[in-house]
Structure 1
């Protein structure tokens, strides 16, 4: 996205994974081959396979700002929903399968088959869906230092799109059950604090030698230098229930990275929050969600998660105003304050086991059909 500091600008890209389910029961179905083929051949959408046949992935282009990402996500979600319906199933935006068994067939590719051989049931149960945000950075050394600056905010960022309270039709008690499933992978969660690109490479090499990651792409930390792009990639979040929430996340990440690049160039040190402290805070947020209280790694006190999000927005407001993303953040916050998080909304509509109500809520394009001002007024 950028090759030098002179040319650098904080462009962004968003990746979203969606679950394919039976249109009536909501149980995951392995229809990715059909959905991808329809998307590509009939709709002109370059939809991507994921690890299991019950998942598909979309990618925005390189976006200049959050509003461009918003427009693209709305279009992409609409096309994915259309392709799924044509294939006789539904595509839903949810962090983990809410209904039925949480296992899927491994996608028939050399890499995915190798992952299945090495990691067994972990791969088969990988029906979880995340939202990954990429933001351009000038170079790899800067990327590592930027990750250090972003690390303390990972728990708060994860709360923005918490969207997986159910498993096998039962309430897990978590706002993000996906985070718990994801934590079983040996290289996942908040990363260590790295002193340099060389340090990052040394740690990554150790895990590959140990067999806990097959390659750099399986270094699944919640924030990392991307493997094949000059970006920092934030991977901590559930797939968002709506495009508005995905863009709220993306705008916050973009501003965090932009500010971090400036801080790195000025020699401002990042807070070296212990990795285990971050893990505890991330677990607390995945359990409590946006409306709960959890440990604030910066103050050392237990505080409402929503207050911690306000702290982040206040800190980033000058950057958000400068890059034009503040309206997108305000729109997303109105949605969260007015209707609750994705997890909150799922619990509201699924009372009494109303499967159709839940599936309508989670349809990848349904929640975004109303204009944001209408939804949030």
Structure 2
């Protein structure tokens, strides 16, 4: 079985008003305890091992969010444990300063945001203007081990037509800056304003992939290779394919489920490559249509079937994806787990659907309050914060 891991981006919020709090620079020193405060700002690259329990942390573009990273895992149970552990540690750090973390892919409440004081981010703001100033989205990125970059490109070519289904399953962003968006995953719309984002062509080989990435950077539109925000890409720091289409999930178990599906897609694609099966020749523009439809409707209406790219009931398309990867899931002992998890999401709703209940009762503050509760569900017990401590609580908007 391939190892896999997850990166989750979480919002930092006031638990009472639901407003955003710019606390990441106060939280990170407590999550990177081996460094003095003035040194933490220098440690901005992600993937720093900190806790043996399986949680790394890093800044993101805005101080109103924080990223957690699991260590490589072999199974759903361990991945879920690490996800919950990371959420709990991040929430503990936020509580010291009067905040909480919420697994919401966009902020329901509108507020000014604060750029993380990193030179690269400052340059991005100068270069991309309003796109950076408005950017505050939280995604779920799934890394799956591949034996070689060549295998990674072959996998990307063969999963590209199925990734839109993961957008629908993970949809968790119906509200944006105080407004009902009319979308289930508005994060997808907001994120795809970046010039290097979205679905890709069929590359066919590693040299072609490298050449395309090089040409994109040489165009001068992207600052560097780090801004190649493809829906699926070769990770720069790990021997993995990174799938980046999903919203951060309200429930940690949904995030672990989607990661299991991604790993099964990667394994299925690798087998197709080894068997000489060509990628489905779906035009990239059709993939954009499928992603837009999944972002708009989630599981509430129709998706584009990944075989015909014509409309079909969302439930049918989701089960078709499960059936497609069923042989791999069966071999790995995960088929029943995935079927149960998908049935639960279809019955109870995605994060987007679950946000609408609190909204009808108490508006946007109630949405955030409920999200805070659900983000913490199943987490390790929290120690009581000593309110007499010199650390807090401190809130900063």
State whether TM-score is above 0.5. Answer: yes
Structure 1: which 5+ runs fail to align?
1-8, 371-377
Distance in 2 between the 1:173 and 1:57 partners? 27
> Which runs of 4 or more aligned residues in structure 1 lie more than 4 Å from their structure 2 counterparts after TM superposition?
42-45, 364-367
User: 1:220 is paired with a residue of what secondary structure?
Assistant: coil
Distance in 2 between the 1:328 and 1:131 partners? 20
CA contact 2:202–2:279 (8 Å) conserved in 1: no
Distance in 2 between the 1:81 and 1:161 partners? 22
**Is the aligned partner of 1:180 residue 2:189?**
yes
User: 2:147 is paired with a residue of what secondary structure?
Assistant: coil
Kindly tell me: are residues 366 and 222 of structure 1, through their superposed partners in 2, closer, same or farther at Cα, counting changes over 3 Å?
A: closer
TM-score (normalised: structure 1): 0.91
User: 1:57 is paired with a residue of what secondary structure?
Assistant: strand
CA contact 1:91–1:364 (8 Å) conserved in 2: no
Kindly tell me: are residues 270 and 105 of structure 1, through their superposed partners in 2, closer, same or farther at Cα, counting changes over 3 Å?
A: same
**Is the aligned partner of 1:24 residue 2:33?**
no
TM-score (normalised: structure 2): 0.87
Aligned to 2:43: none
Aligned to 2:388: none
State which of 102, 108, 113 in structure 2 corresponds to 1:98.
108
User: 1:132 is paired with a residue of what secondary structure?
Assistant: strand
Question: For 1:326-341, what aligned pairs fall within 5 Å after superposition?
Answer: 326-341=335-350
Question: For 1:287-366, what aligned pairs fall within 5 Å after superposition?
Answer: 287-363=296-372, 366=375
Distance in 1 between the 2:335 and 2:18 partners? 36
* 1:39 CA displacement: 2.6
CA contact 1:223–1:234 (8 Å) conserved in 2: yes
Structure 2: which 5+ runs fail to align?
35-49, 380-397
Q: How many residues are paired up?
A: 362
User: 2:271 is paired with a residue of what secondary structure?
Assistant: helix
User: 1:269 is paired with a residue of what secondary structure?
Assistant: coil
Aligned to 2:239: 230
Kindly tell me: are residues 130 and 13 of structure 1, through their superposed partners in 2, closer, same or farther at Cα, counting changes over 3 Å?
A: same
* 1:55 CA displacement: 1.0
CA contact 2:254–2:341 (8 Å) conserved in 1: yes
Kindly tell me: are residues 88 and 123 of structure 1, through their superposed partners in 2, closer, same or farther at Cα, counting changes over 3 Å?
A: same
Distance in 2 between the 1:324 and 1:15 partners? 24
* 1:331 CA displacement: 4.0
* 1:328 CA displacement: 3.7
User: 1:180 is paired with a residue of what secondary structure?
Assistant: helix
User: 1:94 is paired with a residue of what secondary structure?
Assistant: coil
Distance in 2 between the 1:278 and 1:286 partners? 12
Aligned to 1:59: 69
**Is the aligned partner of 1:14 residue 2:6?**
yes
Distance in 2 between the 1:286 and 1:272 partners? 23
**Is the aligned partner of 1:89 residue 2:99?**
yes
Aligned to 1:368: 377
CA contact 1:15–1:131 (8 Å) conserved in 2: yes
1:292-345 alpha-carbon deviations (Å, 9 max, x no partner): 113224223210122111001012112112123334423422331231110001
